[in-house]
C-alpha cells in the first residue's frame, strides 16, 4: 500500500492556463509473476477547462488504468509509474506531489465515478454518511452543513425525496439510483474535473439514457471538465468533444469526435466502427476484427495491431508506428498509412472501409484465429 | 388452462403429448417405497456387520426372524416399476404395502398397550407374524437412528422379542403378565415408524388415484422411443468447408408473411399463456408472502428458420422466459408446443429426444463453463446423456463441433481458463451444436464480449443458422444487435409482451410508448446524428408488485401527454393488431396516438433532473 | 426481527429435545454403566450392584428413566399417575404449578454419583473459574487476533505480515499439553516466578468457591484478586498462543477481501486519508464475518478447555469433566454435555442476530 514516491526527474514547464489536465507520455507498468505488463504505454493528451474527452477502448486497452494513474489510486507496487511521465492538473504536476497534498485534490478538485455502483458504495454506511464525509473532509464544514450539502447534491442529481433517501443504505436503492448517488458524491465538492469510468455499462438502456442526459446537463451547469471512459462508441458519439482511442496501452487515434467517428484514420478505429451491427448490414455478415487482443507478455514487435490489421504490409512488422499527423486540424493516428511510405495505400484502405460500413464485409467464414500462436 | 382467445394466434397443431410427470402424491409414494427398501437393506447390512464383527450370538437368527420385512421390501421394489406406465397392479401393490404397514402398527400398539395380550409365553415364542414384524421393524428403526450407539433402546427391545434374548435387560415379561417397559417402548416406536411410512403412502395413493384409474388425455401419448423414431434420430454434424461461404447471401429462413398468415407453415415453437411465478417466502412459518410475476402470460410463435428476438431491460422476465420455454424450470401455467409436442409437465425421462433438439447458449462465458472440466467433457456430457456411450465416437463428435465453431480439434483437452471470452462463447456454441439441435435459445450470447469479438460471434451464429437450418430465440437487451440479427421481435416489460412484430415494422413504426423510448435510448455511434433522447422516468417497478392496469403506466410519457387517462391505470391493454399489418401487435390503449411530432414535443419538454421521479 | 427470533426459538425446540435424547442415548450406550465404578472393588457383590441400580432407578425401563431425568415423569407416581406431579397437575409443568422438582425441566440435574452433591451445585462451582479463565483468554486472543490480522492485511507481505504468519502457525502447531508443561517447567519450577497449579494459593486463602473463601475475599479483596491473576497468567498464555492462529488468519483474510473491494477504491478516490479508509471503510466490513465467528466461540466460556485446565489444575468445568469421566460420574457428564449443547444452540442464534445488527443489508 505504499503510495507513489515523488520522482526526482526534472519536470517540464506547466501548460498554458486554459488547459486543465495535461498528460505527457504516461507509462504505467504492472510487475506480476509472469513479467511486466505495460498497461499504459506512453499516453499523452490534454483537456481544456469545461471540455469533455472520451477515452475509448476494449477490455485490456489500458483506459481504466490511465484514469486510475491520474487519480493516483494504484497500489505501488505492483503498479509502477515511469519517472519521466508527467500529469499536470490545474497548473501543478501531480504525479510528484506528496500524498497528503494529492489527497486534498482527490475528491475535491478531481472526482471519479465508477462502473459498478453497487460495489462502489460502502454497504454499511448510509449514502448521506458517505457524501457528508467527503464534504466535511474537503470543505472543512461541520456535520450539519455537510449533511445539508449531501441533501443538496442528491437534489441536484434528481433524486426524489432527498431528505429520506439520504438516510438509506445503498442496497435499498435501484441501480440507477445508486449511480445517481455516485454522481452526487462526485459533485458534492464541485470538482473541476470529473472522471467517469464506464458509468453506464452496468445499467439498463433506459436508465443509461437517464444517467447520460444527467451527466450532460450537470456538466453544462457546473462547467466542470469530463473524462468519459467507455467501450461504447455510441455513448462517446453523444457525449464528448474530443476522443482518444486506445489499444494495448497505446493511443492509436485522437481527434474531435466528428473526425474520429465519421472519418477514422487508424485501422483499429475503422474496424471497430465496421463491426457495429446496424440495420444496413442486415442480411450480410458483420465485418469483424479478426483474432484477439495480443497477450501483454507477447506483444507484436512493431505495430501492435498488425496481426489483426487488414491493411498491413512488411513495414508494419519492422518499424513501430508513431502518432502521425493525419489531418489538417492536428488529428493523429498511429498508422504507417499516414506516412509518405504508406500514403499510396491509403485510398484503397479508405475505399474498403466505406464498403464495409455500408454493407458489411465478406471475410472468411471461420475468422477466429486461435488465441495462441 | 384453456388457450385464451385474445392472443390472436392460431391454436397449435399437436402431433402428440408426452407422458406426464406423475403428480406429487404419487412421486412421494414412490419415494416412500424406495425409502422402505433402503431402510431394510441398510438394517440387514448393519446386522450382518455387527454379528460378524462382534460375534453376537443370534444375530444371524435375527436375520431370519425378520423375513416379513424382506417380502415388504421386495414388493416396495417391484411396485414403482409400474408407476410410469400407470399400471393398476402397481397401484394395488402399493395399497397392499400401505395396509400391511398400518395394520402392523395397530397390532404392535395392541400388543404393547394391552396387558397380557402377548400372553405368558411371549418371552419364549410369540406369534410368528407379530414377533417377526416387531423384529424387522425394530431393526429398521435401529437403522433410522443416528448410529449404532444410539440405538440401544430399540435394539434392546428387539433382543427381548427374539427367543434368544440374553439377560441384558432382564426377562421380557414380568410375573404379572404385563410386558417389559423397554419392549413396549420399542413396539410403540416401531408402530409410529410404520404409521409414518404407511399413512402418507396410502393418503397420496388414494388422493391421486385418478392418475391410475383414468389414464386418458386429449392427445396420443408418445414415448421417447417413438419420438426418436419419428424425428429420425440424432445426426452427426459435419464441418462445412471454410471456403464454402463465398458471397452466397445468408438465407434468412423466414417464411413469407403470406405463408404464415394462411397457416401454410407450422410454427416450430408455440407458446400459449406461459407463466412463471416465483414465491417470496417470509414470516414465522416461511409461508408464501408474495409472488414475483417473472413471466406473466406470454403468447407467441416461432417459425422454423427465423430469428425471433426477445428484448427488454433486466427484470422484464426475458431470461426466465427462455428457461421456462425449455422446461429448465417448470412453468407455473401455460403451454409450450415444440414441433407438435406438448412440453408442459412432462416426465423428464421422456423429454430426452426433444431436449436434444432444443439447446441453450448462456450469457456469461466465464460462469457457464465448469472450470474443472476439460472442453471434451463439457461438450461430451450432453452427448453422453443422449446415449453416445462410445468414447471414441464422442471424441469425434466433440472435435467436429469444435471445428464447426472455428476452434481447433485438439483444443478439446484444454480447460476453460485457457481460452479468451470469445473462444469460451464459441465453446458454449459448440456444446449446444454437438447435439445437432433444431432450435437454440441464445440468452444474451454477446453481452459480455467486446465489440470486435461480438461481431465474430454474431457472424458465427448466422453461419451456423444457415448451415444447419437452425432457428433461434435470441434474448438480448442490446437493440442494435437485435435489429441487425433478427427477423421478428417481441418487446417485454415486466413479464408481458408489450409489442411484437417484424424488425422493419417495429423499428420504423413502433406502436408502444415503451418501444419508442427504448429505441430512442440507443446511443448511436455517429456524432452527426447526435440528438436529444426521450428519457423515461424512474426505474422498472418490482415484478413482485406490478402496477395495476397497463404495467407501463407509471413511467409512460404518452399517458402524461394525454393528460393521464384513467383507463391506463385500471385496464390491462390487450396485445391487439395494429392497422396495416396483422402481425404487428401492441398492447397500448392509445397506440394510434403515437406520432413523430408527439415524440419530438415530449423530448423538448422533459427535464432530465426530474427523471428519477417515477412512482416509488 | 421479532418474527425471526420467534421463528428461530420455535425451531430450537425440537433441537433441544433432540439434544436431551442424544445426551441420554450416548450415556446409555457407553460401555459399562454407572455401576462400573465398583468394578475394581471386590467387596461389592452382584446383589449390591443390583441394589445400587434399583436405588438409582436404573432398573426401570429406559423410556421411564429418560422421562424422569427430563422431568416428564414423577418418580413417586404409579402407572399413568407418573405423569402427574404432587399437586395433581402434569409433572412437566413448572414447579410452581405441578409441585414437581425432579428432572432437567425443573432445574434438577440429579446427584453426583461420586460425591452425592447436587450436579447443579458441582457445575455451578466449576463454572465461575472457567468463566474467569476462558473469558480472559477469549477476550485477549480475540482482540490480539483482530489487531494482528488487520495489521498483517494492511502491511501485506511485509516483514510484520510474514512474522505474524510464522508465529500463528507455530502456535497452531504446538500441542497444548506440551506448551503448558514447558511453561510450568520454565516459569514455575525453574524461575519460580509463577504458581504452577490451582486458582488460589492454598496456604494463604481457603479453597476457591467455598463460603470461607468469600468471607476472605470480602476482607482482603485486592490480595485475593492479585492471587487469582497470578495463577491466571500461564493458563491464559497457553490458551491465547494456541488459539490466536485461527482467528488472526481469519481476520487477515477478511480484511484483505475488504481492502480489495470497490468501495475502498471509492473511499480513496474521495481523498480520505489512508487511516480513515482502512479503519472506517474496510475494517467495519471486514469485521462483519468476524462477529459471527466470535458469537460461535461463546460456548467456550462454559465448556472451558479440558487439557489446559487439567494441566494447571484449574478447578473449572474442563477439569470437572475429565475427573467425572475417570470416576464414571454419569450424572455430572450428562449435565455438562447438556448445558454445553444448549449454549451452542443459543450461540448460533446469537451469532445470527448479531450479524443482522451489524450488517444493515441483513433483514430477517
What is the count of residue pairs from A and C with beta carbons less than 8 Å apart?
78
CB–CB contact C62 B146 (8 Å): no
Q: Do A107 and C270 touch (CB under 8 A)?
A: yes
Q: Are strands B581-586 and A92-93 parallel, antiparallel or unpaired?
A: unpaired
Cβ-nearest to C61 among B145, B185, B284: B185
Burial tier of C6 (Cβ tally within 10 Å: 0-12, 13-18, 19+): exposed
Does residue C273 have a pLDDT over 50?
Answer: yes
Check B523 against A157: CB less than 8 A apart. no
- List, in order, residues 6 or more apart from C140 with CB less than 8 Å away: C236, C240
The upper half-sphere exposure of residue B115, i.e. CA atoms within 13 Å in the direction of its Cβ, equals 6
Q: Which residue has cell 476452434?
A: B407
Q: For chain B, say whether C31 makes contact (Cβ under 8 Å).
A: no
| H/E run at residue A112 | strand A110-113
CB contact under 8 A, C272 and A103: yes
Q: How far is C358 from chain A (nearest CA, A)?
A: 8
A 127-166: CB under 8 A from C: 133-134, 137-138
Does any CB of chain A come closer than 8 Å to the CB of residue C357?
Answer: no
The pLDDT value given to residue C4: 79
Using a CB–CB cutoff of 8 Å, tell me whether A220 touches chain B.
Answer: no
Q: How confident is the model at residue A24 (pLDDT cuts 50, 70, 90)?
A: confident
Q: What is the pLDDT of residue B221?
A: 66
| pLDDT over 90 (residue B419) | no
Give residue B41's pLDDT band: very low, low, confident or very high (50, 70, 90): very high
Helix ranges restricted to H, A157-304: 162-165, 175-187, 205-222, 233-239, 257-262, 267-274
Give CA separation, B260 vs B15, B267, B268, in Å.
19, 9, 12
Judged against a pLDDT cut of 90, whether residue A244 lies above it is answered with yes
Query: Does the distance separating the beta carbons of B184 and C7 come in below 8 Å?
Result: no
Residue B474's pLDDT band, with cuts at 50, 70 and 90, is very high
C362, exposed or middle or buried, with CB in 10 Å at 0-12, 13-18, 19+? middle
CB pairs under 8 A between A and B: 193
**C80 and chain B: CB distance < 8 Å anywhere?**
no
Question: What pLDDT, in 10s, does the model give residues C140-157?
Answer: 988 998 998 888 888 888
**Are A258 and B313 inside 8 Å of each other by CB?**
no
* A208–chain C Cβ distance below 8 A for any pair: no
pLDDT digits (tens, 9 = 90+) for B145-168: 333 333 333 333 343 333 333 333
For residue C204, name the pLDDT band (cuts at 50, 70, 90). Answer: confident
Say yes or no: B414 contacts chain A, CB-CB below 8 A: no
- pTM of the prediction? 0.79
**Which pLDDT does position A245 carry in this prediction?**
93
> Where does chain C have alpha helices with state H?
2-29, 46-55, 62-70, 95-98, 119-154, 159-173, 176-183, 211-219, 221-259, 262-269, 274-276, 283-297, 300-303, 306-311, 317-326, 330-358
Query: How far apart are alpha carbons C129 and A110 in whole angstroms?
Result: 59
Please, what is the average pLDDT of chain B?
77
Taking contacts as CB-CB distances below 8 angstroms, the residues of chain A near B426 are 368
Assess whether pLDDT exceeds 70 at residue B122.
Answer: no
Contacts of A among chains (3+ CB pairs under 8 A): B, C
CB contact at 8 A, B129 and B118: no
Give the pLDDT confidence score for residue A364 in this predicted structure: 40
Going by pLDDT thresholds of 50, 70 and 90, the confidence category of residue B612 is low
> Residue B438 pLDDT > 50, yes or no?
yes
Which residues of chain C make contact with A70, given a CB cutoff of 8 A? Answer: none
Name the residue in chain C with its Cα closest to that of A170. C361
Q: Is the pLDDT of residue B408 over 70?
A: yes
Query: Percent of chain C at pLDDT above 90?
Result: 2
Contacts with A288 from chain B: Cβ below 8 Å = 452-453, 455-456, 459
Is C60's CB within 8 Å of B181's CB? yes
Q: Which of B286-290, B509-513, B519-523, C216-220 has the lowest mean pLDDT?
A: B286-290
Cell of C262: 470497490
List the single range of A86-95, A274-283, B269-278 with lowest mean pLDDT.
A274-283
Chain A from 89 to 108: CB within 8 A of any C CB = 100, 103-108
Q: Residues B199-213: pLDDT tens digits?
A: 988 888 888 887 777
Q: Give dist(CA B503, CA B509) in Å, integer.
A: 10
Is the pLDDT assigned to residue A1 strictly greater than 50? no
CA of A259: how far to CAs of A206, A345, A347, B235, C168, in Å? Answer: 28, 20, 17, 52, 62
DSSP alpha helix (H) spans, C282-329:
283-297, 300-303, 306-311, 317-326
Distance from C-alpha of B186 to C-alpha of B140, rounded to nearest angstrom: 11
- pLDDT tens digits, residue range A289-331? 888 888 888 888 888 888 888 888 888 888 888 888 887 778 8
- Indicate whether this complex's ipTM tops 0.90: no
Q: From C64, which residue of chain B is nearest by alpha-carbon distance?
A: B181
Backbone dihedral region for residue B187 (phi beyond 0: left; psi -120 to 50: alpha; all else: beta):
alpha
- Range name among A23-27, B122-126, B133-137, B448-452 with the lowest pLDDT average: B122-126
B2 pLDDT tier (thresholds 50, 70, 90): very low
pLDDT in tens, C25-80: 877 777 667 777 776 777 777 788 788 878 777 777 777 888 888 888 887 777 77
Verify whether the Cβ–Cβ distance A285 to B611 is below 8 Å. no
State the pLDDT at residue A82: 86
The nearest alpha carbon in chain A to B418 belongs to A371
Shortest Cα–Cα distance, C250 to chain A (Å): 20
Look at residue B3 and tell me whether its pLDDT is greater than 80: no
Give pLDDT tens digits for B54-68. Answer: 776 777 777 888 888
Smallest CA–CA separation between C296 and chain B, in Å? 24
Task: Judge contact between B611 and A210, C-beta under 8 A.
Answer: yes
Disruptive mutation site among C156, C269, C276, C362 for chain A (greatest number of A CBs within 10 Å): C269
Measured between beta carbons, which residues in chain B are less than 8 angstroms from residue C10? 284
Average model confidence (pLDDT) across chain C: 83
**Cβ distance of B150 and C6 shorter than 8 Å:** no
Tell me if chain A has a CB within 8 Å of the CB of B149: no
Instruction: In whole angstroms, give the CA distance from residue A224 to residue B518.
Output: 29
pLDDT-derived band of residue B176, with 50, 70 and 90 as boundaries? very low
Interchain pair B407, A365: CB under 8 A: no
CB A279 within 8 A of CB A356: no
Inspect the interface and report whether the beta carbons of C269 and A107 lie closer than 8 Å.
yes
Residue B557 phi, psi (nearest 5): -75, -30
Nearest of A240, A230, A162, A151 to residue A197 by alpha carbon = A230
pLDDT of residue A4: 32
Q: What pLDDT does residue C85 have?
A: 77
Cα–Cα distance for residue pair B398/B270, rounded to 1 Å: 31
| Terminal Cα-to-Cα distance of chain B (whole angstroms) | 34
Q: Do B525 and A236 touch (CB under 8 A)?
A: yes
User: Which of A109-113, B13-17, C30-34 is least confident?
Assistant: C30-34
Residue C191: which pLDDT band, with cuts at 50, 70 and 90? confident
Distance of CA C245 to the CA centre of its chain: 20
Asked if A33 reaches chain C (Cβ–Cβ under 8 Å), the answer is no
Query: Distance, in angstroms, between B241 CA and closest chain A CA?
Result: 9
Chain C contact partners (≥3 CB pairs within 8 A)? A, B
* Grid cell in block for residue B468: 444447419
**Residue B418 pLDDT > 70:** yes
pLDDT value, residue B126:
37
**pLDDT exceeds cutoff 70 at A362:** no
Contact C13/B at CB under 8 A: no
Neighbouring subunits of B (3+ Cβ pairs under 8 A)? A, C
Residues of chain C with pLDDT > 70, as a percent, come to 98
Contact C62 B153 (CB under 8 A): yes
CB contact under 8 A, C61 and B182: yes
Amino acid at each position: 500500500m505504499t503510495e507513489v514516491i515523488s520522482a526526482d526527474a526534472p519536470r517540464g514547464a506547466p501548460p498554458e492556463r486554459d488547459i486543465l489536465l495535461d498528460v505527457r507520455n504516461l507509462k504505467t507498468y504492472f510487475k506480476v509473476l509472469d513479467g511486466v505488463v505495460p498497461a499504459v504505454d506512453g499516453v499523452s493528451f490534454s483537456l481544456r477547462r469545461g471540455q469533455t474527452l472520451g477515452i475509448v477502448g476494449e477490455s485490456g486497452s489500458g483506459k481504466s488504468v490511465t484514469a486510475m494513474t491520474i487519480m493516483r489510486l494504484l497500489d505501488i507496487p505492483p503498479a509502477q509509474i515511469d519517472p519521466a511521465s508527467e500529469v499536470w492538473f490545474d497548473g501543478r504536476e501531480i504525479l510528484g506531489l506528496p500524498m497528503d497534498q494529492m489527497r486534498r485534490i482527490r475528491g475535491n478538485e478531481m472526482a471519479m465515478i465508477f462502473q459498478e455502483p453497487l460495489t462502489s458504495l460502502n454497504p454499511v454506511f448510509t449514502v448521506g454518511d458517505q457524501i457528508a464525509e467527503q464534504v466535511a473532509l474537503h470543505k472543512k464544514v461541520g456535520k450539519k452543513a455537510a449533511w445539508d450539502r449531501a441533501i443538496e447534491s442528491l437534489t441536484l442529481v434528481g433524486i426524489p425525496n432527498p431528505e429520506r433517501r439520504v438516510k438509506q443504505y445503498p442496497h435499498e436503492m435501484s441501480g440507477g439510483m445508486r449511480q445517481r448517488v455516485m454522481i452526487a458524491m462526485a459533485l458534492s465538492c464541485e470538482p473541476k474535473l470529473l472522471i467517469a469510468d464506464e458509468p453506464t455499462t452496468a445499467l439498463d438502456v433506459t436508465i443509461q439514457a437517464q444517467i447520460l442526459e444527467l451527466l450532460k446537463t450537470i456538466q453544462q451547469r457546473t462547467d466542470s471538465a469530463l473524462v468519459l471512459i467507455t467501450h461504447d462508441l455510441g455513448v462517446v458519439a453523444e457525449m464528448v468533444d474530443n476522443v482518444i482511442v486506445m489499444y494495448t496501452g497505446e493511443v492509436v487515434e485522437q481527434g474531435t469526435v466528428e473526425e474520429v467517428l465519421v472519418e477514422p484514420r487508424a485501422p483499429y478505429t475503422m474496424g471497430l466502427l465496421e463491426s457495429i451491427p446496424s440495420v444496413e448490414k442486415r442480411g450480410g455478415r458483420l465485418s469483424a476484427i479478426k483474432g484477439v487482443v495480443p497477450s501483454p507478455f507477447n506483444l507484436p514487435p512493431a505495430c501492435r495491431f498488425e496481426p489483426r490489421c487488414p491493411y498491413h504490409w512488411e513495414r508494419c512488422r519492422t518499424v513501430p508506428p508513431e502518432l502521425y499527423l493525419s489531418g489538417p486540424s492536428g488529428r493523429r493516428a498511429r498508422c504507417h498509412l499516414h506516412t509518405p511510405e504508406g500514403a499510396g495505400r491509403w485510398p484503397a484502405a479508405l475505399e474498403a472501409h466505406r464498403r464495409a460500413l455500408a454493407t458489411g464485409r465478406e471475410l472468411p467464414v471461420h475468422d477466429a484465429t486461435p488465441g495462441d500462436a | 388452462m384453456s388457450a385464451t382467445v385474445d392472443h390472436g394466434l392460431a391454436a397449435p397443431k399437436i402431433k402428440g403429448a408426452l407422458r406426464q410427470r406423475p403428480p406429487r402424491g404419487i412421486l412421494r409414494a414412490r419415494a416412500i417405497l424406495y425409502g422402505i427398501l433402503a431402510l431394510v437393506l441398510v438394517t440387514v447390512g448393519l446386522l450382518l456387520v455387527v454379528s460378524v464383527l462382534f460375534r453376537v450370538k443370534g444375530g444371524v437368527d435375527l436375520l431370519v426372524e425378520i423375513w416379513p420385512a424382506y417380502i415388504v421390501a421386495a414388493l416396495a421394489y417391484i411396485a414403482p416399476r409400474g408407476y410410469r406406465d400407470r399400471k393398476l397392479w402397481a397401484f394395488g401393490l402399493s395399497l397392499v404395502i400401505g395396509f400391511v404397514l398400518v395394520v402392523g402398527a395397530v397390532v404392535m400398539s395392541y400388543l404393547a398397550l394391552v396387558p397380557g395380550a402377548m400372553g405368558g409365553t411371549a418371552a419364549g415364542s410369540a406369534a410368528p407374524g407379530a414377533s417377526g414384524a416387531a423384529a424387522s421393524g425394530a431393526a429398521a428403526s435401529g437403522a433410522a437412528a443416528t448410529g449404532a450407539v444410539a440405538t440401544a433402546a430399540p435394539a434392546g427391545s428387539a433382543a427381548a422379542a427374539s427367543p434368544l434374548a440374553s439377560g441384558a435387560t432382564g426377562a421380557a415379561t414380568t410375573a404379572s403378565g404385563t410386558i417389559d417397559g423397554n419392549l413396549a417402548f420399542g413396539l410403540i416406536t416401531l408402530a409410529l415408524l410404520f404409521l409414518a411410512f404407511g399413512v402418507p403412502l396410502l393418503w397420496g395413493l388414494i388422493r391421486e388415484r385418478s392418475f391410475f384409474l383414468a389414464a386418458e388425455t386429449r392427445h396420443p401419448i408418445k414415448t421417447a422411443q417413438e419420438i426418436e423414431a419419428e424425428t429420425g434420430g440424432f445426426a452427426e454434424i459435419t464441418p462445412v468447408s471454410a471456403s464454402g461461404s463465398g458471397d452466397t447471401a445468408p438465407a434468412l429462413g423466414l417464411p413469407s408473411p403470406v405463408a404464415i398468415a394462411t397457416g401454410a407453415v407450422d410454427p416450430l415453437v408455440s407458446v400459449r399463456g406461459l407463466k412463471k411465478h416465483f414465491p417470496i417466502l417470509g414470516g414465522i412459518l416461511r409461508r408464501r408472502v408474495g409472488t414475483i410475476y417473472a413471466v406473466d402470460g406470454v403468447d407467441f410463435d416461432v417459425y422454423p428458420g427465423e430469428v425471433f428476438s426477445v428484448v427488454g431491460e433486466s427484470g422484464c422476465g426475458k431470461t426466465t422466459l427462455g428457461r421456462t420455454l425449455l422446461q429448465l424450470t417448470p412453468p407455473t401455467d401455460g403451454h409450450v408446443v415444440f414441433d407438435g409436442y406438448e412440453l408442459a409437465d412432462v416426465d423428464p425421462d421422456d423429454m430426452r429426444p426433444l431436449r436434444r433438439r432444443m439447446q441453450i447458449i448462456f450469457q456469461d462465458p466465464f460462469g457457464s463453463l465448469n472450470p474443472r472440466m476439460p472442453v471434451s467433457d463439457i461438450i461430451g456430457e450432453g452427448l453422453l446423456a443422449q446415449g453416445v456411450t462410445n468414447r471414441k465416437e464422442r471424441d469425434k463428435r466433440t472435435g467436429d463441433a469444435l471445428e464447426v465453431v472455428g476452434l481447433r480439434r485438439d483444443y478439446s483437452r484444454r480447460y476453460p481458463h485457457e481460452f479468451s471470452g470469445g473462444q469460451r462463447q464459441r465453446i458454449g456454441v459448440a456444446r449446444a451444436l454437438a447435439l445437432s439441435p433444431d432450435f437454440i435459445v441464445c440468452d444474451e450470447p454477446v453481452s459480455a464480449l467486446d465489440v470486435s469479438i461480438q461481431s465474430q460471434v454474431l457472424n458465427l451464429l448466422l453461419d451456423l443458422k444457415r448451415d444447419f437450418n437452425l432457428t433461434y430465440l435470441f434474448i438480448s437487451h442490446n437493440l442494435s444487435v437485435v435489429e441487425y440479427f433478427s427477423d421478428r421481435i417481441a418487446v417485454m416489460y415486466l413479464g408481458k409482451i408489450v409489442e411484437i412484430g417484424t424488425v422493419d415494422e417495429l423499428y420504423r413504426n413502433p406502436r408502444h410508448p415503451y418501444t419508442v423510448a427504448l429505441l430512442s435510448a440507443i446511443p448511436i455511434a455517429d456524432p452527426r446524428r447526435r440528438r436529444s433522447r426521450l428519457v423515461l422516468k424512474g426505474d422498472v417497478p418490482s415484478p413482485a408488485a406490478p402496477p395495476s392496469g397497463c404495467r407501463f403506466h407509471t413511467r409512460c410519457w404518452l399517458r402524461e401527454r394525454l393528460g393521464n387517462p384513467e383507463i391506463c391505470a385500471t385496464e390491462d391493454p390487450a396485445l391487439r393488431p395494429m392497422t396495416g399489418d396483422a402481425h404487428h401487435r401492441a398492447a397500448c390503449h392509445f397506440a394510434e396516438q403515437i406520432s413523430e411530432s408527439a415524440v419530438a414535443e415530449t423530448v423538448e419538454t422533459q427535464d432530465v433532473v426530474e427523471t428519477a421521479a417515477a412512482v416509488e | 426481527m421479532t418474527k425471526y427470533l420467534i421463528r428461530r426459538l420455535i425451531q430450537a425446540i425440537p433441537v433441544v429435545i433432540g439434544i436431551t435424547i442424544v445426551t441420554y442415548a450416548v450415556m446409555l450406550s457407553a460401555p459399562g454403566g454407572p455401576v462400573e465404578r465398583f468394578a475394581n472393588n471386590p467387596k461389592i457383590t452382584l446383589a449390591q450392584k443390583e441394589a445400587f441400580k434399583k436405588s438409582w432407578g436404573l432398573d426401570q425401563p429406559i423410556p421411564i428413566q429418560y422421562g424422569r431425568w427430563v422431568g416428564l415423569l414423577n418418580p413417586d407416581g404409579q402407572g399413568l399417575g407418573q405423569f402427574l406431579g404432587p399437586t395433581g397437575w402434569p409433572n412437566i409443568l413448572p414447579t410452581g404449578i405441578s409441585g414437581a422438582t425432579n428432572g432437567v425441566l425443573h432445574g434438577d440435574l440429579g446427584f453426583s454419583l461420586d460425591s452425592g452433591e447436587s450436579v447443579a451445585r458441582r457445575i455451578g462451582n466449576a463454572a465461575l473459574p472457567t468463566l474467569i479463565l476462558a473469558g480472559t483468554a477469549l477476550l485477549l486472543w480475540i482482540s490480539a487476533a483482530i489487531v494482528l490480522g488487520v495489521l498483517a492485511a494492511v502491511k501485506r507481505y511485509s516483514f510484520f505480515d510474514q512474522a505474524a504468519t510464522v508465529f500463528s502457525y507455530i502456535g497452531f502447531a504446538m500441542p497444548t499439553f506440551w506448551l503448558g508443561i514447558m511453561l510450568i517447567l520454565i516459569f514455575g519450577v525453574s524461575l519460580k516466578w509463577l504458581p504452577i497449579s490451582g486458582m488460589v494459593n492454598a496456604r494463604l486463602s481457603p479453597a476457591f468457591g467455598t463460603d470461607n473463601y468469600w468471607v476472605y475475599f470480602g476482607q482482603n479483596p485486592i490480595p485475593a484478586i492479585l492471587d487469582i491473576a497470578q495463577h491466571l497468567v500461564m493458563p491464559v498464555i497457553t490458551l491465547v498462543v494456541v488459539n490466536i492462529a485461527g482467528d488472526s488468519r481469519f481476520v487477515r483474510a477478511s480484511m484483505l477481501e475488504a481492502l480489495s473491494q470497490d468501495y475502498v477504491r471509492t473511499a480513496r478516490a474521495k481523498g480520505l486519508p489512508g487511516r480513515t479508509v482502512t479503519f472506517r471503510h474496510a475494517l467495519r466490513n471486514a469485521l462483519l464475518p468476524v462477529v459471527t465467528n466470535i458469537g460461535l466461540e461463546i460456548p467456550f466460556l462454559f465448556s472451558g478447555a479440558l487439557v489446559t485446565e487439567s494441566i494447571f489444575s484449574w478447578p473449572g468445568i474442563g477439569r470437572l469433566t475429565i475427573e467425572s469421566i475417570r470416576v464414571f460420574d454419569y450424572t455430572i457428564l450428562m449435565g455438562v454435555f447438556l448445558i454445553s449443547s444448549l449454549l451452542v444452540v443459543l450461540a448460533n442464534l446469537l451469532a445470527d442476530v448479531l450479524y443482522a445488527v451489524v450488517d444493515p443489508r441483513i433483514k430477517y
